[in-house]
Structure 1
Amino acid sequence: MARPAADKLRLGLGLADLGALLAPFAGRASATTRIAVACTLTVLVTSIYGTPEAAISAYIVFFINRADRTTSIVMSVAALVLVSIIIGLVMLLADFSVDDPLRRVACMAVLSAALLFLTSASKLRPVGAIIAMIIGFALDELGLVPGGEIATRALLYAWLMVAIPIGVNVAVNLVLGAAPRRLACDRLAHCLRVAAACLRDPPPDDAALQAALHTGIQPVAGWLKLARIEGSANASDVAALRHAAASTMAILLAVDAARRQPGAPLPAPVADPIADTLDAMARMLDAGGYPVEIGLSQPDASLLAPAQAAVARELHLAINCFAEPPEADTAADTTTTPTPPTAHSGLLDADAFSNRDHIRYALKTTGAALFCYLLYQQLNWPGIHTCFITCYLVSLGTAAQTVEKLSLRLAGCLAGAVIGTAALVYVVPSLSSVGGLMLLVFAGSWISAWVALGSARIAYAGFQIAFAFYLCVIQGAGPGFDLTIARDRVIGIMLGNLMVYLVFTRIWPVSIAARIEAALGRLAEQWHQLAHARRSDDRRGHAMAALALQGDIAQDLILAHYEPASVGPAPEWVEDRQRRLRSLDAIAGPAFLFAERFPGDPDLAQRLRTLRAHDTAPQPAQPAHATEATEAFDAAGHDGPARDALLALIDKRLTASVADAAQTPHPYPIHAQT
């Protein structure tokens, strides 16, 4: 069976695909400029004070920046507090380890393993590896000094190496950072425009619509919570925009059903007024407000086929009540987007001490880093010390992620090295001041950040471009011209990448298959809850969570192709899960419309159970419990034709899925121990 088009694109990028991934989108240029400014100012401050490893300081900015200013600032401050505590710990260990190489290496190993364990098993995941790298660098610097006052100064420089980019990043985000409410409104406006375009003039493919469904609405709830915390939105505005996000999801699903299901597309006289209204609503959101009391008139349902009538009804209901939550929701000011229940909400994950993968991740990364450390120490080649740093910056949890990111790392490293070397040869010799160096750093940072803020297919390459570029160009407090430094640092990056790849694919390899299976279980639970939810906002919230999970699972299934045969699942296993995911994606629109019109109907729940039972052929509706059957009949009322039409669409898709399964060999078990 042919691999889906998305897989082909992910496994190999052509020039057209690369151009699409590098194309501008809303907010990309401003976020890129913000990161470039923070990196440039970081280099300026390090040049003024002459702190060492300015390249790493500039690179840290990439890790502590997020889309909104609030998260970026909070993350920066938290990282600074944590680094301060750990540097204090290192100072306590200095007297014990500074004069003895064996004890120094032992301290590096113990602290690295402990911090990386927290990186894998706690909420420190975004910054834990960076902190472990800083501690390792600080202890390494201690080994180069005779002790006493110089050792203290080395630890101060290690703290400044993190404190300077954090302070600069906080200042830049206060001035240039995007407000969470602004991001939420912009995202909702973009999704409404996508829906309007699909209704008015459907594009040849549905890539934009699928992207809006799977990743468009999900961040809005978090941004609105941050807006409430920082005071940029009051309680009533937050409640209205939360309901607007749920309504937008309903609009997108209705448009998806109209586009993909035979007999459901709306005729132009009905679709055009709806599309015009959506564009007008998007303009209101762009202005910072939100539309209320829209009053879009509903067309005569007798002129539409049953499936078309169901789509039109959902669109009009979602549009006319777009930002008008029920009174109970407004008063409570609670989010309507359900999240998977968690039994543990502390610092550590629930499986921190039961999942051996956490400690294995810590040991593998520490082992790779210490091997690189001992290697360049024994070779007396300190110029390649970047291999030690690289191990912390690029270590990942599963073999699939490691192999996929390897190509991005190497491509990004080579691109950054080429850009940096070209700058050293053709640009740096003409520079006569720190100002010229700042302009060069800004240009390189802007290019790197533009790539890093793109799709996950290329984002990691942007990080590596920045890392290699900084290590080549930033050689001290002023312009540097030594090509040997650039050569050695690039060799170090390549060596660190190679070590991480070998370790993570040969020692305790972790397949991504276990994560896929767990996510499929959560996905089935979301659809089950959607089918039984009685409140409209709850159903829309479950649909939002389910579609986000479907997008994540689709990406993980593509990553599974990168795992070596001895580690990952068999191709038939991957194809089986992809087919089941495609089935859920195909019925998402009509299933949601059905649940909206007939909440709690047992026939929908039966079909979802059928899909969960390894795609057994759907059977005609069995006699339900008397109460359930009565409720379903009463809910249908005079809309019985719409109910039958939506069920027919779902059954058609499920039947096609079963026929697809009949052509697929029985899936083999997973190879790797997970």
Structure 2
Amino acid sequence: MAQPAGDLARPGPADILKLLAPYPGRAAMATRIALICALTAFVTSAYGTPEAAISAYVVFFLNRPDRVLSVMLSSALLVLVTLMIGLVTVVAMFALDDPMWRVACITGLSFGLLFVTSASKLRPIGAILAMIVGFALDELGSVPFGEVATRALLYVWLMVAIPVGISIGVNLLIAPSPRKLAGRALAKRLRLAAQSLVEPEATADELSACLREGDAEIGTWLKLSVVDGSSVRDDVGPLRQAVSSTLTILVAADLAVREASGRLPASFAAPVAETLENMARMLEAGGYPVDIELKLPSVTELTPLARLVVRDLHDAITRFAVVEAQADVESTGKTGTDSGTAKRAQAQTDAEGKVETAARTEAQPQAQVKAEPTPPPTAKRGGFFLPDAFTNPEHVRYALKTTVAAMFCYLLYSQINWPGIHTCFITVYMVSLGTTAETVEKMTLRIAGCLVGALLGIAAIVFVTPVLTSVAGLMTLVLIGAWLSAWIAFGSPRMAYAGFQIALVFFMCVLQGAAPGYDLTVARDRTIGILIGNVVVYLVFTRVWPVTVAARIDAGLAALRQQWERLAALPDAVTRRAQAASAMAQCGALEQDIALMHYEPSWVRPEAQWIAERRSALAKLDALEGPMFLLAERRPGDAAIEGWLKRAMDGLPMPSAETGAKVTPLPVAPNAASPEAAANDDTRTALLRLGDARLTQLEHAASDDAAKGLATHAPA
């Protein structure tokens, strides 16, 4: 069973080692980031541009695993920064001569940009833009107006333009294509399913975490693969079907792992695992398997749950990339092969199973399916602003709190004439988030990262920088520090912010100008500034209008229940599986939200009973995901699913979620005389018993916990 919701925060040493473990693509991503940072340090040193540390740090915000998103994000940020510099230029014409006007302009622009950040789709980079505007106005206040000020604005623009240009160039040359990343992700999931069938105890947690990831990222990669030409449009349908089939394989494997009666004997597990491994190799090679045949022994001796697992695995594997199109799919479930289609894999046989596959390269069209599948209905897209942008007061409060914290830091180092700690002003924008829990969690990780980065930076200044004799040595130093930071920053989200902070502090220590820096005072002042900024943000966000994640959890639970009710009634398998993957990912996000409550102060965090009730509801939903999905696959609209959901949410005051009206279950009336109907009835009975048993077990555990709590607090 998955780890209980709410027990995920504050990882121990063993958990940290797991979070730092390598995974496919992690080293390549860290190497690409480090290379871009080193090249940025070279260019800034060659041209003597100021704030080289910020230029190197911006690289971490510009890059994503695939080349398309990285290039698009870099280009978009450069356009936005150019517009912001133009805005600063206009404002500077009226504000630079008067310090009061300059402070007022920084405050007003900061509030406006932060409001837009909170209330629109600009959220990922809005705070960075606000920081750049404020930092630019502050820098202009220290130079006389005229040619020097104009040059200062140019340097601020170059501070972003240099890493943007280098990032675009490097990503176009060596970054992986979205198609390659999608194939790698599917291959990883198939290998995990194969391993779980052979070693169920060793992969239970990893399999549950994989289901929590959802399919959204893979779907995005498939769309982008058409944009950059790594996939042709005819390949998208089969690949989407492959994503759908992979979810079924994972759910079936999860059932086998979590239920002893669902385990498969070696005569079944071995051929299925070998088949999945062969399919994974083809996906990694850039193709996808078709025409798969899997021969297994008779299932008559297996338990009902084991038979269910075998049938689901067999159907999902043999129809892995077969698009359901009425005009082309025969009654046998096989599709023909076009004469122009090339084979990339030969038939493989053994005593228990046989797999015949044909995989196509990224550039070859899928010719055997002539009709495009009906795409799943997409949610209605909103505009630039969120629906509650001008009605929810939290957006205004977030902008006010962040602006107040930033301006306090700005006035602090200005009035005490200590410009070396100006990093406190930058830190406020980097740390502040919408809720108190997220802000405190991010602050905790950033303080830890700040201390690690300062230690590495000071050690580099003392032991490494004095022996550097060329810019190549400086590039090597930056390369090593950036690689270590990127390894953490682009790993688990639970530690990512620490990696970002390590990079910022390390760069500010070693990149003090056009040449290697030796001044320990600079490293000391910048580290102190970062710590001051973290403390200020903590005090403001925990004392002034603190925002708990409680409301988000209740709304999320209501939306999750309605999502399961809707998807359980969908007759289309591909759409239903896509919605199920989204629901599983949403459940994981809610578990993380409950875990975040550990970071909320006692006066912000809800009572322990409130948290226990939501944790219990999420645990029940987690236990029901497999049975609900498998039952919906066989009997869409089965009334038992709605009964399970009511039982899981029993006693919780659920707010109305704006996710659509309730869906009436579809009538299901199979022919009782057919063998298929009898098998379905047996399967349904097994799934009903499984879901009820899991709910009963969790309800008894919750009752025991409640009894222990009463006994603990009872008067002596």
Q: Same fold (TM over 0.5)?
A: yes
For 2:619 and 2:553, the matched residues in 1 are separated by: 14
For 1:335 and 1:473, the matched residues in 2 are separated by: 55
- Aligned to 2:616, which of 559, 576, 579? 579
For 2:126 and 2:666, the matched residues in 1 are separated by: 54
2:452 is matched with which residue? 415
SS of aligned partner of 2:614 = helix
The 1:626/1:115 distance shift into structure 2, 3 A limit, reads closer
| Residues 330-384 of structure 1 deviation map (CA, whole Å, 9 limit, x = unaligned) | 6675785666x34x52111111111111111111111111100100011000111
Whether the 8 Å CA contact 1:187–1:216 is kept in 2: the answer is no
Whether the 8 Å CA contact 1:61–1:165 is kept in 2: the answer is yes
Whether the 8 Å CA contact 1:42–1:57 is kept in 2: the answer is yes
| Residues 554-606 of structure 1 deviation map (CA, whole Å, 9 limit, x = unaligned) | 11110012111111212221221111111111122222222112222222333
1:433-582 to structure 2, matched below 5 A, reads 433-582=470-619
For 2:519 and 2:171, the matched residues in 1 are separated by: 34
For 2:429 and 2:22, the matched residues in 1 are separated by: 31
The 1:511/1:322 distance shift into structure 2, 3 A limit, reads same
Whether the 8 Å CA contact 1:338–1:542 is kept in 2: the answer is no
For 2:645 and 2:4, the matched residues in 1 are separated by: 26
2:433 is matched with which residue? 396
For 2:666 and 2:12, the matched residues in 1 are separated by: 55
Whether the 8 Å CA contact 2:454–2:527 is kept in 1: the answer is yes
The 1:164/1:658 distance shift into structure 2, 3 A limit, reads same
For 2:63 and 2:123, the matched residues in 1 are separated by: 15
Following TM superposition, by how much is the alpha carbon of 1:403 offset from its aligned partner in structure 2, in angstroms?
A: 1.6
The 1:288/1:205 distance shift into structure 2, 3 A limit, reads closer
1:13 is matched with which residue? 12
Whether the 8 Å CA contact 2:192–2:203 is kept in 1: the answer is no
1:39 is matched with which residue? 37
SS of aligned partner of 1:348 = coil
1:275 alignment partner AA: A
1:86-105 to structure 2, matched below 5 A, reads 86-105=84-103
For 1:280 and 1:315, the matched residues in 2 are separated by: 15
Question: What is the count of residue pairs matched by the alignment?
Answer: 654
For 2:405 and 2:607, the matched residues in 1 are separated by: 28
Whether the 8 Å CA contact 1:368–1:503 is kept in 2: the answer is yes
In percent, how many aligned pairs have the same letter?
A: 53
The 1:396/1:633 distance shift into structure 2, 3 A limit, reads farther
Pick which of 204-213 and 146-155 moved more: 204-213
For 1:508 and 1:164, the matched residues in 2 are separated by: 39
For 2:190 and 2:315, the matched residues in 1 are separated by: 15
For 2:666 and 2:20, the matched residues in 1 are separated by: 56
For 2:203 and 2:146, the matched residues in 1 are separated by: 67
- Aligned to 2:667, which of 628, 634, 640? 628
The 1:337/1:517 distance shift into structure 2, 3 A limit, reads farther
Whether the 8 Å CA contact 1:531–1:604 is kept in 2: the answer is yes
Instruction: Give 4+ residue runs of structure 1 displaced > 4 Å after superposition.
Output: 3-9, 328-339, 631-635, 664-667
The 1:332/1:105 distance shift into structure 2, 3 A limit, reads farther
Whether the 8 Å CA contact 1:598–1:636 is kept in 2: the answer is no
Following TM superposition, by how much is the alpha carbon of 1:414 offset from its aligned partner in structure 2, in angstroms?
A: 0.2
The 1:295/1:59 distance shift into structure 2, 3 A limit, reads same
| Residues 36-75 of structure 1 deviation map (CA, whole Å, 9 limit, x = unaligned) | 1111111111111111111011101111111111111101
- Aligned to 1:653, which of 687, 694, 701? 694
SS of aligned partner of 2:123 = coil
Following TM superposition, by how much is the alpha carbon of 1:216 offset from its aligned partner in structure 2, in angstroms?
A: 5.8
Following TM superposition, by how much is the alpha carbon of 1:107 offset from its aligned partner in structure 2, in angstroms?
A: 0.5
The 1:453/1:332 distance shift into structure 2, 3 A limit, reads farther
- Aligned to 2:185, which of 173, 184, 187? 187
1:266 is matched with which residue? 264
| Residues 288-318 of structure 1 deviation map (CA, whole Å, 9 limit, x = unaligned) | 1000010113542322221111111111111
Following TM superposition, by how much is the alpha carbon of 1:425 offset from its aligned partner in structure 2, in angstroms?
A: 0.4
Following TM superposition, by how much is the alpha carbon of 1:236 offset from its aligned partner in structure 2, in angstroms?
A: 1.6
For 1:90 and 1:638, the matched residues in 2 are separated by: 71
Following TM superposition, by how much is the alpha carbon of 1:473 offset from its aligned partner in structure 2, in angstroms?
A: 0.6
1:228 is matched with which residue? 226
1:48 is matched with which residue? 46
Following TM superposition, by how much is the alpha carbon of 1:5 offset from its aligned partner in structure 2, in angstroms?
A: 6.3
1:584 alignment partner AA: L
Whether the 8 Å CA contact 1:181–1:224 is kept in 2: the answer is yes
For 1:226 and 1:270, the matched residues in 2 are separated by: 37
For 1:337 and 1:166, the matched residues in 2 are separated by: 36
- Aligned to 2:291, which of 290, 293, 317? 293
TM-score with structure 2 setting the length: 0.88
1:619 is matched with which residue? none
TM-score with structure 1 setting the length: 0.93
2:281 is matched with which residue? 283
1:121 is matched with which residue? 119
For 1:220 and 1:356, the matched residues in 2 are separated by: 35
| Residues 482-518 of structure 1 deviation map (CA, whole Å, 9 limit, x = unaligned) | 0011100000000011111111111111101112122
Whether the 8 Å CA contact 1:238–1:333 is kept in 2: the answer is no
2:24 is matched with which residue? 26
For 1:626 and 1:379, the matched residues in 2 are separated by: 68
2:686 alignment partner AA: A
Whether the 8 Å CA contact 1:243–1:537 is kept in 2: the answer is yes
Following TM superposition, by how much is the alpha carbon of 1:525 offset from its aligned partner in structure 2, in angstroms?
A: 1.9
Following TM superposition, by how much is the alpha carbon of 1:229 offset from its aligned partner in structure 2, in angstroms?
A: 1.6
Whether the 8 Å CA contact 1:109–1:366 is kept in 2: the answer is yes
- Aligned to 1:326, which of 324, 327, 342? 324
Whether the 8 Å CA contact 2:431–2:534 is kept in 1: the answer is yes
Whether the 8 Å CA contact 1:40–1:441 is kept in 2: the answer is yes
For 2:422 and 2:414, the matched residues in 1 are separated by: 9
1:84 alignment partner AA: T
The 1:320/1:389 distance shift into structure 2, 3 A limit, reads same
SS of aligned partner of 1:538 = helix
- Aligned to 2:682, which of 616, 621, 641? 641
1:496 alignment partner AA: G
Following TM superposition, by how much is the alpha carbon of 1:256 offset from its aligned partner in structure 2, in angstroms?
A: 0.6
Following TM superposition, by how much is the alpha carbon of 1:615 offset from its aligned partner in structure 2, in angstroms?
A: 8.0
Structure 1 residues without counterparts, runs of 5 or longer: 617-624, 668-674
Structure 2 residues without counterparts, runs of 5 or longer: 328-368, 654-663, 710-716
For 1:279 and 1:301, the matched residues in 2 are separated by: 23
SS of aligned partner of 1:113 = helix
1:3-402 to structure 2, matched below 5 A, reads 7-8=6-7, 10-14=9-13, 16-204=14-202, 206-215=204-213, 217-327=215-325, 341-342=379-380, 344-402=381-439
1:628 alignment partner AA: P
For 1:298 and 1:70, the matched residues in 2 are separated by: 42
Whether the 8 Å CA contact 1:7–1:558 is kept in 2: the answer is yes
For 2:223 and 2:668, the matched residues in 1 are separated by: 40
